[in-house]
Amino acid sequence: IATTDQQSWDSTTSENFVSVLRQTGDELVQLGQVGGLGLGEEIQGVRFIGSVGYVVTFRQTDPLYTIDLSDPSAPKVRGELKIPGYSAYLHPIDETTILGVGLDGTEEGQVLGLQLSLFDVSDLNDPKRIHTATVGDSEWGWSEALFDPKAFLFWQKTGLALLPVEWYAYDEQTMLETSFHGALGYTIDAEAGIVQLGSIEHPVV
């Protein structure tokens, strides 16, 4: 389980942990714990796959931590990748790559529009972001997949990913508003990258 601990409402004191628990009778007993993740930051995304945990924290930049859980009594951080923005949902594409659905950001911590990121985690000591793709045509965008994993779909046989998206844009020169409500489809490939395949627009009633 991944948790955040902080003193009262002071977010600068926050510290994140990954703890391993085992049921003993009617109780959950802590076997091991690793802390010190994203000091002063909040957890944005977590995924446990087999004996590896992936934890994303964010305040100004996005550290993606790889956690080795092969020894439940002594979990340890193996790698850390700092990039602008953050991934709120992490989905395994294959044994060595993970797709992140999240928000782009600046080095100063300003959050921008929707973004897909593909990570190479073949070396837990050195995770890398190998591809990114901006989702939508605006710096303001939203996807339910940021908070609901059931809103994201991936077909491994075809490498097709689908997610619901909505965005709004305003052109100050033409004073025209544009928007989109619907679903976007992408092909995901470690070599070819993240390529938009098509879209389905839902009329707004």
Angstrom distance (rounded) from CA 31 to CA 37: 18
Distance between CA 137 and CA 84 in Å, rounded? 19
What pTM was estimated for this model as a whole?
0.88
Q: Is the pLDDT of residue 95 over 80?
A: yes
**pLDDT of residue 109 exceeding 80:** no
In whole numbers, what is the pLDDT of the chain averaged over residues?
Answer: 90
pLDDT at residue 71 tops 90: yes
Residue 201 to residue 194: CA distance in whole angstroms:
20
Q: How many residues does the chain have?
A: 205
Take residue 152 and report the two structure tokens written for it.
């994201």
Q: What integer is the mean pLDDT of 39-62?
A: 87
pLDDT classification of 77: cutoffs 50, 70, 90: very high
- What's the confidence (pLDDT) of residue 174? 87
| Predicted local confidence at residue 46, as pLDDT | 95
- Let me know: does 48 contact 94? Beta carbons within 8 Å: no
pLDDT average, residue stretch 73-93: 93
What's the pLDDT score for residue 137?
Answer: 67
How confident is the model at residue 184, as a pLDDT?
A: 95
Q: Which amino acid does the sequence have at 143?
A: S
Q: How far, in Å, CA of 148 to CA of 121, rounded?
A: 23
Has residue 93 got a pLDDT over 90?
Answer: yes
Confidence of residue 139 (pLDDT cuts 50, 70, 90): low
pLDDT band at 108 (very low <50, low <70, confident <90, very high): confident
Segment (H or E) for 150: none
Question: In Å, how far are 68, 71, 80 from 33, measured between CA atoms?
Answer: 11, 11, 17
Say if strands 128-134 and 140-142 run parallel, antiparallel, or are unpaired: unpaired
What is the separation, in whole angstroms, between the first and last Cα of the chain? 41
Alpha helical stretches, state H, the chain: none
Confidence of residue 193 (pLDDT cuts 50, 70, 90): very high
- The single-letter code of the amino acid at 32 is G
Residues 6+ apart with CB under 8 A from 49: 92
* 124 SS3 class: coil
